[in-house]
Amino acid sequence: MSQRPVADDTARDAWLVALNPTAKVASVLVLGLASIVFPSPILGALIVVALFALAAAMGYFRPFAKLMIGFGIPVTLMLLLIQGCYSPQNVTVIADLGFARLGLEGTLYALSTVVTLLTFLGGFYLMNRTTYTGELVADLTERGLPPKAGYLVLASLNVVPQMKRRMATIQEAQVARGLDMGGDIISRVRATVPLLGPVVMSSLADAEERSMMLETHGFHLNERAHTSYVVVRHATADKPLVIASAVVLVLSVAARIASVAGVLPL
């Protein structure tokens, strides 16, 4: 996510990369919300299928399918067992497993939860693959996000790979000095402090330098608008995408109201 995608018009995912980052985030959130609101798992399932199609068209099918199936199957089985067999709402029995009976209401609930989770998981995956975080934050700041909040998001994303590298260095140093990383669980728990301690201490020293740097750059001054080097992309497809997602959400809310009122038999 933190890497900047190379601007290549011939790449298969060029269309998705060229979209405005905020538009992508907004559509993922709105579609996910729609699949929560819609009174049956069908909408979520349709969105998941659409995401699969999109991933395939963009050339990400293999990693996308690996992620979705790797997460989806265990959680589906677990929820079917817990909700399908033991939900207090179960009235209609659809199958007898011997040790427990599978109820229709719990099964539907489990399936709705799973498709909603998959909608968010798949949507965010495609967004992450095709969005440079710096551009997203620059866009959000232009749209009125306080620069301090933008800094928090961006710095959190940047600091993690940096700390992982530092951790690897410290691990090698400590092992060279005789730290035992194997053995029983107690000695392994003990090994956490010599590994984590230096990372934390050097990061705190780093924090001091960063804050001085930010202040010399005038980051804490609020009188003037902050500028950015990052160019934010806008595409003609941005608006139709967000509007289409919003329409799906509105229809889902309508379907939910109709279902609660008893008009729609879902």
Partner 1 sequence: MSEKASFAQKLKDQFSTKSLVLIPIAVGINLIGGTLCSMLKLPLFLDTIGTLVVACLSGPWVAALTGLLTNVFLAIVANPVNFPYAIVSVLVGLTAGYMARAGFFNKKSGIVAVWLAVTLVNAVSASLITSFVFGGATGINGTSVVTAAFVVALQDVLLSVFSSAILENLLDKGISVLIAYTIWRKIPRRLVSQYAMAGIADGEAPVGPGRDELDDKLEDDDLDFDDEDEDLDLGFDDEDL
Residue numbers of the site for partner 1 (CB under 8 A)? 1, 32, 71, 74-76, 78-79, 81-83, 85-88, 99-100, 109-110, 113, 117, 120-121, 124, 128, 148, 151-153, 155-160, 162-164, 167, 171, 181, 185, 188-189, 191-193, 195-197, 199-201, 203-208, 210-211, 214-215, 219-220
Token reading at 220 = 């804490």
**What minimum distance in Å lies between the beta carbon of 72 and partner 1?**
9
Smaller CB separation from partner 1, 19 or 85:
85
| Closest among 243, 26, 244 to 131, alpha carbons compared | 26
Residue reference for tokens 């049956």: 40
Burial of 31 (0-12, 13-18, 19+ CB in 10 A): buried
- Compute the least distance from the CB of residue 139 to partner 1, in Å: 15
Q: Give me the phi and psi of 101, to 5 degrees please.
A: -110, 135
Minimal CA–CA distance to 55: which of 98, 10, 90, 12?
Answer: 12
Rank residues 54 and 118 by Cβ distance to partner 1 and give the closer one. Answer: 118
Residue ranges with strand state E in the chain:
93-96, 101-103
CB of 114 vs partner 1, minimal distance in Å = 9
Name, in order, each residue with C-beta under 8 angstroms of 26's C-beta and a sequence gap of 6 or more: 242, 245
The residue among 92 and 211 lying less far from partner 1, judged by its C-beta, is 211
Give the nearer residue to partner 1 in terms of CB position, either 9 or 96.
96
Distance CA 56, CA 238 (A): 21
Q: Cβ 112 to partner 1, closest distance in Å?
A: 9
Whole-number minimum distance, CB 63 to partner 1, in Å? 14
Q: Output the six-digit token pair for 154.
A: 């961006």
Distance in angstroms (rounded) separating the CA atoms of residues 34 and 108 = 17
Minimum CB–partner distance for residue 170 and partner 1 (Å): 11
Nearer to partner 1 by Cβ, of 59 and 218: the residue is 218
Nearer to partner 1 by Cβ, of 212 and 254: the residue is 212
